[in-house]
């Protein structure tokens, strides 16, 4: 299970590392079909992770280039904090929260990238619910199957991921629960201070 989580975290976090505060690079070959988009990106990332000839810095740089355009990070930051709390932050606090949130994930990424092994990937038919496309997939080894669900919305005529579920658990909702707990007992500054602390081992 630890390794499966690591694959998802690697891809999600490496996107956030490069995308925060930066304009999305132009990509004339950006797929219009969300299924094709996820398939192409996963195949390319896994190929790089499996390449033992690449050092970590080169691996990260290549993955950044592949996946940075497909996540809507401004929306993800807002959703992680939630409608109740996000509007209460000043613009400066919102910017700081987003930066610290991504830095927290970056630290986790550094620790987990080395854990990847050759898990098999099975893509399943996509489902559309209102304006959202759900693209399910399954990571498999000999004795385990882990369900992964990408959620995409169309932003400025491009499909972008705004959340990922693993075994039915939303990454964003998991963070929101943690942040709600902190803010129910303290202030925004308390939350920002917590995010500045090194992650628990």
Task: Tell me the per-residue pLDDT of 58-105, one tens digit each, with 9 for 90 and over.
Answer: 887 787 777 777 888 788 889 999 999 999 999 999 999 998 887 776
CATH of the domain at 146: 3.10.450.710
Residue 70 domain-assigned?
yes
Residue 26 domain-assigned?
no
Residue 116 domain-assigned?
yes
Residues of the chain with pLDDT > 90: what percent? 30
Residue 149 domain-assigned?
yes
pTM for the full model?
Answer: 0.77
Q: pLDDT, tens digit, for every residue of 1-52? A: 455 545 555 555 445 444 444 444 455 567 788 988 888 888 888 888 888 8
Query: Which residues, 6 or more positions from 72, have their beta carbon under 8 angstroms from its beta carbon?
Result: 153, 155, 160, 161, 162
Residue 114 domain boundaries? 2-19+31-196
Residue 34 CA, distance from chain mean position:
16
Residue 150 domain-assigned?
yes
User: How far is residue 87's CA from residue 103's CA, in Å, rounded to a whole number?
Assistant: 22
Residue 25 domain-assigned?
no
User: Looking at the 3D structure of the chain, how many domains does it have?
Assistant: 1
Q: Which of 2, 1, 4 is nearest to 139 (CA)?
A: 4
């Amino acid at each position: 299970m630890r390794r499966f989580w690591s694959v998802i975290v690697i891809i999600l976090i490496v996107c956030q590392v490069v995308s925060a505060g930066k304009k999305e690079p132009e990509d004339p070959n950006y797929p219009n079909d969300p299924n094709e988009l996820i398939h192409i990106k996963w195949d390319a990332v896994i190929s790089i992770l499996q390449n033992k000839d690449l050092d970590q810095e080169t691996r990260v740089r290549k993955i950044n280039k592949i996946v940075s355009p497909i996540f809507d990070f401004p929306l993800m930051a807002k959703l992680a904090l939630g409608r109740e709390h996000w509007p209460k932050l000043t613009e400066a606090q919102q910017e700081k929260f987003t930066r610290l949130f991504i830095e927290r994930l970056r630290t986790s990424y550094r620790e987990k990238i080395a854990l990847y092994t050759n898990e098999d990937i099975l893509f399943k038919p996509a489902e559309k619910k209102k304006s959202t496309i759900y693209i399910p997939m399954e990571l498999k080894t000999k004795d385990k199957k882990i369900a992964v669900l990408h959620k995409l919305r169309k932003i400025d005529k491009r499909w972008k991921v705004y959340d990922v579920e693993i075994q039915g658990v939303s990454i964003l909702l998991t963070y929101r629960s943690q942040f709600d707990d902190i803010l129910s007992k303290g202030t925004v500054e308390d939350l920002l201070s917590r995010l500045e602390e090194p992650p628990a081992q």
